[in-house]
Structure 1
Amino acid sequence: MRSNLPHPPPLPGRPRRPVVSRFTPPQLIAVVYLVGIALGTALLHLPGVTTPGAALTSIDRLFTATSAICITGLVVADTGETFTRAGQLVIMGLAQVGGLGILTFGTLFAFLTGRRVNFTERQHLVQQINALDVGGVVPLIRIIFLYTVVGEVAGALLLALRFVPQFGWGEGLYHAVFHAISAYNNAGFVVVPGGMGQYAQDPLVSLTISALILLGGLGFLVQLNVLTHLLNPRRNRLLVYSKLTLLTTGLLVVLGTVLLLVLEWANTRTLGPLAPGGKLLAALFQSVTPRSGGLATVDIAGMTSASLFLLIALMFVGANSGSTGGGIKTSTLAILVGSAWNMVRGRGELIAFGRRVESENLVRAGTVTTLYALLVSAAFFAMLATNPRLGFTELLFETVSAAATVGLSLNTTPRINDAGLLILTALMYLGRIGPLTFATSFSLRGGQGRGVKYPPERDILVG
């Protein structure tokens, strides 16, 4: 018989466990970003966020909110022309929150209210930013916030040197701040009238935005490790992870720049009309932006097929772990390539900068790459089935751009139907939180089958 008596209060000294602590770190990340997308979509439905005559459907607003908070930059219409200043500020705010991480902002608000951050919440933060030390994650969040503000302010001041003379003080400062936040968080949104193409040969704008994209794509831990190492090399060594990501990032940027120069030098739709110095600057910018930046100073749709394949490959790799970028990550590529090279040479262990790479990292790298490949393949097939009028290359480029949260497009996004937009929306969400994080969010606490040892099977042929 059901009792009508009220439930007894919890015993003193045994408080109820907060709802947040009932989630595993992957589950919390997945849920929080879903909530962020829902709130962003609601904000973009408010009156006054779009210009008169802008015909945006609910799916368009959902797509835009997801693109902003997942720091992608794919758009169904020109951001500067379709959204009012209020709408642009909503998009900028979503990009800032998505770049730093919703959980990071939650911790910052906890600091302001004086609430302590418990160990479970520290685990959630470690999962989100790939921190190496749970004990030091809370001071790390403070540094991340300050470091991000300093980087964005510095970028905005540099961009203001160009935008203020061009647009005046009010508009110039607004455009400088907006694009500094967009570039540093690898968001890819543009509101400057005329687009970024007008700055293809402008060293100040191109190099500033390129630097902001690279800084955001390096990841907070790498930036802080490099900074502390430069300030005190004897006490703070440069981590192997930092060396690996810096080396891989540098090689990809240089390789991309050289190949784009060769492939696009005489292309009248891209680098052809530019001066030699402008060609180098534009090639460098287009080599940096597929790392998850999403901004472009030339017409990507006018590139040769070989260049588009190169951009697709760079987008698939993406930025670094714990950064504002997507993709399988540069460290994953480095581990896979190093492991393959070791196997070819007959070596058993992967050694990087005098340190042995654990086998668990090799398994994780292979898992991440496999999941990304399967995700992109399945989504690409669905895009082909739902948008048969669009070309193979266009849809492949769009699919990889969404999955890697890059935001580059061959001017295809506005021509995609609602079914395709929903597919890309799901891709941007999965690309932001990571397919591995999403997959492990369904696993039970503690897992099943732990501690059970099965006999090995060596008679399996591979390769």
Structure 2
Amino acid sequence: MVKFSRSLNPFQMIALTFLIGLVVGTVLLSLPFSAAPDKEVGVLHALFTATSALCITGLNVLDTASTFSVWGELVIMVLIQMGGLGILTFGTAFAVFAGRRIGVQERLTLATQLGGVNSGEVKQILLQIFRFVVVIELAGTLLLYLHFLPIEGPLRGLYFAAFHAVSAFNNAGFSLYPDSLMRFAGDAYLNLVVSVLVILGSMGFLVMASWLLHLQKPRQHRLDLNAWISLWTPAFLLLLGFVTITALEWNNPGTLGKLPWTDRLVAGFFHSVSPRSVGFNTVDYGLMHHGTLLITIMLMFVGGNPGSTGGGIKTTTFFVLITSMWSMLRGRGEMVAFKRRIEMDTVMRAGVVAVMSLSIIVFALFLLTLTEQQNLASGKLSLLQIIFETFSAFCTVGLSMNATGQFSDAGKIILIVLMYIGRIGPLTFAIALSTRSVKGALVHYPADRNIQIG
């Protein structure tokens, strides 16, 4: 096993461990003990659920509470936790606590998974992340327990609190209620606690640690550009989503229009948080206006911060693309943000991630229009529903227009592949498939500046 792991690069190891996790999760969810009495999961639906949980997406073809037993729900919760931390991070953290040494190859792979940190700092950062996750999820469980205790009782209430805290912090969106959280649309307390957990999870472990150190020792620990971008970009998107979604749905009788005005504000805020990558919903997305769905798709595509439990192309990629466009429109020779210069390599990487992501989504949409021809013709699915579910799957969000279960078996397999690629990242996936590693060009060709763009 050691020799095998050394023959793989870090990107291939990340892709492989998630693939192994999907196989194990599928087997466990397919076993009889995972299903509720008189229920049968099936291999395809077990694979879909395992992928959705491990890739912290939240799309469902089966109702979690009525289809799975408590043991099956616990398997899903463990898959969510492993997927949120990253299987390698999760497993290595336990190895560190057990006193085992981390080899050089493991450090390099973990450094890649954590966002390119220094491999020599992996162990210390890993322990910080693990402690941070435990504290936040325990706090979330306690706060949610105060809410679920009078509804579900002492033991069941604690179970519901823990499940939803893990699901919210890891941006998974799995719920033990068949309507997600729609029955709590006007519950300001639950909406706020879940929203805070989602935001903390989508911020990213390293960004949170950096800000905490800066607040404690502002002079000794200065924030880098990534920390600033990872704070202000999500804040801007959160405000943008809140204003636009609330305004567009204010008088919609199928969504916010049926609620008191205070509850409309609460639901509007919650649904500006949810597209970041969590997948919980308190109103029916199938009844939303097309403009709202378009805004939601754009928010889903951006997603969370790098190194977080969020999906999408990441906020930093979005920021770099917008900044580079603005700099070019103003005729500036270099891109500057927060009095820091952004390297051209970073801009190119952001462009590659965005173009690859859109290319994968468009190709998947093309395939789905072929596999879902009969559903489109019969009216079971609309093109907008297919587009929405495709973005939701690839961006590991989990929001749905109540259409996931209507997809054909071939369509569900495409969604499974999208969730997998979206979780490990399109760039990681492409590099993992690459059989060659080009470290540097031996021949440099002359540049040609006569190519016309635009």
TM-score (norm 1): 0.94
Greater shift, 243-252 or 437-446, is seen at 437-446
Residue among 23, 30, 53 paired with 1:68: 53
Partner of 2:378: none
Partner of 1:169: 154
Structure 2: which amino acid aligns with 1:417?
S
Instruction: State the distance in 1 between where 2:200 and 2:5 align.
Output: 31
SS in structure 2 at match of 1:356: strand
1:83-138 per-residue CA deviation (whole Å, 9 max, x = no partner) reads 11111000000000010111112212321342211222111011111043222111
Instruction: State the distance in 2 between where 1:429 and 1:446 align.
Output: 23
Instruction: State the distance in 2 between where 1:406 and 1:58 align.
Output: 23
User: 5 Å matches for 1:179-194?
Assistant: 179-192=164-177
CA 1:47–1:17 in 2, change beyond 3 Å: closer, same or farther? closer
Instruction: State the distance in 2 between where 1:195 and 1:396 align.
Output: 21
Instruction: State the distance in 1 between where 2:178 and 2:200 align.
Output: 25
Partner of 1:407: 398
Instruction: State the distance in 2 between where 1:142 and 1:312 align.
Output: 35
Instruction: State the distance in 2 between where 1:195 and 1:433 align.
Output: 26
CA 1:189–1:408 in 2, change beyond 3 Å: closer, same or farther? same
CA contact (8 A) 2:30 2:41 kept: no
User: In the TM superposition, what is the alpha-carbon distance from 1:462 to its structure 2 partner?
Assistant: 1.2
CA contact (8 A) 2:180 2:280 kept: no
Residue among 331, 340, 359 paired with 2:344: 359
User: In the TM superposition, what is the alpha-carbon distance from 1:194 to its structure 2 partner?
Assistant: 5.5
User: In the TM superposition, what is the alpha-carbon distance from 1:446 to its structure 2 partner?
Assistant: 4.0
Partner of 1:25: 10
Identity of aligned residues (%): 47
CA 1:439–1:195 in 2, change beyond 3 Å: closer, same or farther? closer
Instruction: State the distance in 1 between where 2:112 and 2:252 align.
Output: 44
Structure 2: which amino acid aligns with 1:267?
N
CA contact (8 A) 1:21 1:121 kept: no
- Alignment: residue pair count: 448
Partner of 1:421: 412
CA 1:17–1:54 in 2, change beyond 3 Å: closer, same or farther? closer
CA contact (8 A) 2:141 2:165 kept: yes
User: In the TM superposition, what is the alpha-carbon distance from 1:80 to its structure 2 partner?
Assistant: 0.9
Residue among 69, 83, 87 paired with 1:102: 87
CA 1:450–1:85 in 2, change beyond 3 Å: closer, same or farther? same
User: In the TM superposition, what is the alpha-carbon distance from 1:193 to its structure 2 partner?
Assistant: 6.2
TM-score (norm 2): 0.96
CA contact (8 A) 2:64 2:73 kept: yes
Instruction: State the distance in 2 between where 1:443 and 1:415 align.
Output: 35
Partner of 1:396: 387
Instruction: State the distance in 1 between where 2:305 and 2:101 align.
Output: 30
User: In the TM superposition, what is the alpha-carbon distance from 1:78 to its structure 2 partner?
Assistant: 1.1
1:297-325 per-residue CA deviation (whole Å, 9 max, x = no partner) reads 11111100000111111111111111111
CA contact (8 A) 2:33 2:71 kept: yes
CA contact (8 A) 1:270 1:299 kept: yes
CA contact (8 A) 2:64 2:178 kept: no
Structure 2: which amino acid aligns with 1:324?
T
User: In the TM superposition, what is the alpha-carbon distance from 1:441 to its structure 2 partner?
Assistant: 1.3
User: 5 Å matches for 1:222-261?
Assistant: 222-261=207-246
Residue among 280, 285, 288 paired with 2:270: 285
Instruction: State the distance in 2 between where 1:44 and 1:33 align.
Output: 16
Whether 1:127 and 2:112 are equivalent positions in the alignment is: yes
User: 5 Å matches for 1:317-336?
Assistant: 317-336=302-321
User: In the TM superposition, what is the alpha-carbon distance from 1:55 to its structure 2 partner?
Assistant: 4.2
Partner of 1:156: 141
1:389-433 per-residue CA deviation (whole Å, 9 max, x = no partner) reads 221100000000000000000010111110000000000000000
CA contact (8 A) 2:304 2:312 kept: yes
User: In the TM superposition, what is the alpha-carbon distance from 1:444 to its structure 2 partner?
Assistant: 4.2
SS in structure 2 at match of 1:105: helix
CA 1:311–1:108 in 2, change beyond 3 Å: closer, same or farther? same
Residue among 301, 323, 334 paired with 1:338: 323
SS in structure 1 at match of 2:33: coil
User: 5 Å matches for 1:183-222?
Assistant: 183-192=168-177, 195-222=180-207
Instruction: State the distance in 2 between where 1:316 and 1:355 align.
Output: 26
Partner of 1:90: 75
Instruction: State the distance in 2 between where 1:248 and 1:195 align.
Output: 28
User: In the TM superposition, what is the alpha-carbon distance from 1:39 to its structure 2 partner?
Assistant: 0.3
Whether 1:264 and 2:249 are equivalent positions in the alignment is: yes
Structure 2: which amino acid aligns with 1:206?
N
**As a proportion of its length, which structure holds more helix?**
2
CA contact (8 A) 1:24 1:445 kept: no
Whether 1:300 and 2:319 are equivalent positions in the alignment is: no
User: In the TM superposition, what is the alpha-carbon distance from 1:450 to its structure 2 partner?
Assistant: 2.9
User: 5 Å matches for 1:26-65?
Assistant: 26-65=11-50
CA contact (8 A) 1:175 1:192 kept: no
Q: CA-atom RMSD, angstroms? A: 1.4
SS in structure 2 at match of 1:408: coil
CA 1:283–1:130 in 2, change beyond 3 Å: closer, same or farther? same
Unaligned runs of 5+ in 1: 1-15
Unaligned runs of 5+ in 2: 376-380
SS in structure 2 at match of 1:165: helix
